């Protein structure tokens, strides 16, 4: 476990979600299909509103539509970003990766931290959760404005689109990015909801929890989490999937045959690379987040050529990875599908995709941070050992 990235080592309390290797993620005990069924939606038979998941993760209870509407309104009220935040982002080269700009923007927001102000005034530790809640809600509310500003700055000549107070959280985010197709609004609601949380051991969630355990405020903690999310082995994977799929099209065409696809997959593997979007550190079945996105595609874009290619990959890749014999989970994860959906509705800039992931992941990380402070969880300080210590331990164990 020490040499294997602590895989399977239980060492964190994470109230908001739990990941089962076979069943997938459960948010406060509810699976993704159950969330789609019980959480309020913007329209009949529509995707759940992300505000509903905010309520669920924070309280452990399924909200009513009236409660979700009230939360939507509260988040809109909180969604004010000071001008200095945009100036900080503008000081970063426009060529910088969107995640670099996003992390910079979050750090610039930190000067408004209610927790920092309260701590400096001497707040009692039993009350730490209150300013943490205020910071968390403010951060969740403001992130779509910062994220959309970065998108418009990089890709749309800086033509910023203001908030539409008639729209919910997910639809407003899509609107500020520049997408007003009702189907894209539905996709953004689904995307934000399913990417919010994935228990505490993944890099971004664990990083946020670790940094917050030092009583760093939610802005500092989430900025650190974003820097972990930006890694190729974590959130950057959703960018890599679409780029890889487009490389298949470039070499083989959109109407690629199953045999051509098999050859391309083997070519990728033999070059020492992985097939992005397949495999997971915990899951041992198809990721339910992949499945619900596939269902969305079957409903809204069944004839999209890249979706059809993704469907062929679902048939081709797992048997090849199984034959390879080195992969514990040959099944697709959440990243295998999201890029194709976004691409269909016009959000084609793959470098930006991890920012979308970051906006969503804030909901899970911040919800847990409130509970970290409410429960009075301590500074995280695991024990490390040297290679010499490990070697001695093994020798004693085998003596």
Cα→Cα distances 306→24, 182, 309, 344, Å: 25, 21, 5, 8
CA distance 80 to 103: 18
Q: Which of 280, 287, 344, 372 is catalytic?
A: 280
Active site residue 206: no
User: Hey, is 313 helix, strand or coil?
Assistant: helix
**In this structure, what are the phi and psi dihedrals at residue 70, rounded to the nearest 5 degrees?**
-65, -40
- Joined tokens for residue 55: 């309520």
Contact status, residue 200 vs residue 225, Cβ threshold 8 Å: no
Among residues 335, 337, 344, 372, the one annotated as catalytic is: 335
Q: Considering 185, 198, 209, 234, which one is annotated as catalytic?
A: 234
Q: Considering just the CA atoms, what is the radius of gyration of the chain in Å? A: 21
Cα gap 139→79, rounded to integer Å = 8
The reply to whether 124 belongs to the active site is no
DSSP string over 369-395? HHHHHHTT----------HHHHHHHHH
CA distances from 236 to 165, 231, 324, 350 (A): 31, 6, 25, 9
Q: Is 347 left (phi over 0), alpha (psi -120 to 50) or beta?
A: beta
Based on the residue annotation, tell me whether 234 is a catalytic residue of this protein: yes
H/E/C letters for each residue in 220-250? HHHHHHHHHHCCCCCCCHHHHHHHHHHHHHH
Q: Which residues are catalytic?
A: 234, 280, 335
């Amino acid at each position: 476990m020490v040499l294997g990235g602590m895989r399977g080592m239980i060492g964190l309390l994470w109230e908001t979600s739990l990941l089962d290797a076979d069943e997938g993620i459960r948010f406060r005990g509810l699976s993704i299909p159950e969330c789609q069924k019980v959480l309020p939606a913007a329209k009949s038979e529509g995707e759940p509103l992300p505000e509903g998941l905010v309520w669920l993760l924070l309280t452990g209870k399924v909200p009513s539509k009236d409660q979700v509407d009230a939360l939507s309104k509260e988040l809109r009220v909180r969604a004010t970003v000071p001008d200095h935040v945009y100036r900080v982002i503008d000081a970063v080269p426009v060529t910088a990766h969107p995640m670099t700009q996003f992390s910079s923007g979050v750090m610039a927001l930190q000067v408004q931290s209610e927790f920092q102000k309260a701590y400096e005034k001497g707040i009692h530790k039993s009350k730490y959760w209150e300013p943490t809640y205020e910071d968390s809600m403010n951060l969740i509310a403001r992130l779509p404005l910062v994220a959309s500003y970065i998108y418009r700055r990089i890709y749309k000549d800086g033509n910023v689109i203001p908030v539409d107070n008639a729209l919910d959280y997910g639809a407003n985010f899509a609107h500020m990015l520049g997408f007003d197709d009702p189907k894209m609004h539905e996709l953004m609601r689904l995307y934000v909801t399913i990417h919010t949380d994935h228990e505490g051991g993944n890099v971004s969630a664990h990083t946020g929890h670790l940094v917050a355990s030092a009583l760093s405020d939610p802005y500092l903690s989430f900025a650190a989490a974003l820097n972990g999310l930006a890694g190729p082995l974590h959130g950057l994977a959703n960018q890599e999937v679409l780029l890889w799929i487009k490389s298949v099209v470039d070499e083989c065409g959109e109407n690629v045959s199953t045999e051509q696809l098999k050859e391309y997959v083997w070519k990728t593997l033999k070059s020492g690379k992985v097939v992005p979007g397949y495999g997971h550190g915990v899951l041992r079945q198809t990721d339910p987040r992949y499945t619900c996105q596939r269902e969305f595609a079957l409903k809204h874009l069944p004839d999209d050529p890249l979706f059809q290619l993704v469907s062929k990959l679902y048939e081709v890749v797992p048997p090849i990875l199984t034959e390879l014999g080195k992969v514990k989970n040959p099944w697709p994860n959440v990243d295998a599908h999201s890029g194709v959906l976004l691409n269909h509705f016009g959000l084609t800039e793959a470098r930006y995709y991890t920012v979308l992931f970051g906006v969503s992941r804030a909901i899970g990380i911040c919800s847990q941070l409130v509970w970290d402070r409410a429960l009075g969880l301590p500074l995280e300080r695991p024990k490390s050992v040297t290679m010499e210590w490990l070697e001695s331990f093994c020798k004693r164990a085998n003596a």
